[in-house]
Amino acid sequence: MVRFHAAGDLSFRFMIWNLFLAGIPLGLSLLMPYIRSAKIAVMVVPVWLLFFPNAPYVLTDLMHLRERSNAPFWLDLLMLLSFGLVSLWMGFQSLRLMQDWVSQRYGGIASWCFACGTLILTGFGIYLGRFLRWNSWDIVTRPWRLMADIGDRVIYPLEHLRTWGFTLGFGGLLVLGYLLWVSSQTDEARATARR
């Protein structure tokens, strides 16, 4: 709001929408401890996975950072970093809750495979959103075109080196960030998060 007031325009209002999308996986993960039916879990987990990349995606909004005449550069930097860090926290918290859910049902090794696999897939999801401009809901509204784009990159990986470089680079950065985030939590904080 300070930035909107200082600039006299609403040019970054899309950040509010991005923050809302980043909150969807956290909301879904908070439901998981209450789900007893495998049928319901099988419906919720894919939806969570579909929306999860929206949380770390907000970090890529730093690409919009440039000198503007209507607002100080440092104010835009603070605003974009604030949105990015809050979204990343929501994503990591959501992933931790889902990882705990997987761990309780399938064990610790499976939960770490789930967490790391999710983060690498997230790198691919962010690539699809940032560079190819796909949205999470396009799986429903334009599934065949989305699958064609994904299939082309999977079948012809050498023709899409930027795709796989970004996927592995950003996914690897998320894995590292998540490991640091998890390792910094105390046992008491972990127990509180599971409740």
For residue 155, the tally of other CB atoms under 10 A from its CB is: 9
Are 67 and 5 in contact by the 8 Å Cβ rule? The answer is no
pLDDT of residue 1: 76
Q: Residue 169: pLDDT band by 50, 70, 90 thresholds?
A: very high
Residue 112 pLDDT > 80: yes
Confidence (pTM): 0.88
Residue 69 pLDDT > 70: yes
Environment class of 22 (CB within 10 Å of its CB; exposed 0-12, middle 13-18, buried 19+) = buried
pLDDT tens digits along 11-33: 788 899 999 999 999 999 999 98
Distances (CA, A) of 31 to 24, 27, 42, 87, 182: 11, 7, 13, 19, 21
Tokens of 13: 């209002």
pLDDT of residue 141: 94
Where do the structural domains in the chain lie, given as residue ranges? Answer: 2-194
pLDDT tens digits along 173-185: 999 999 999 998 8
Portion of the chain with pLDDT greater than 90, in percent: 73
- Mean of the per-residue pLDDT values for the chain? 91
User: Concatenated DSSP letters for 86-130?
Assistant: HHHHHHHHHHHHHHHHHHHHH-HHHHHHHHHHHHHHHHHHHHHHH
Locus of tokens 């079948």: 155
Are 11 and 47 in contact by the 8 Å Cβ rule? The answer is no
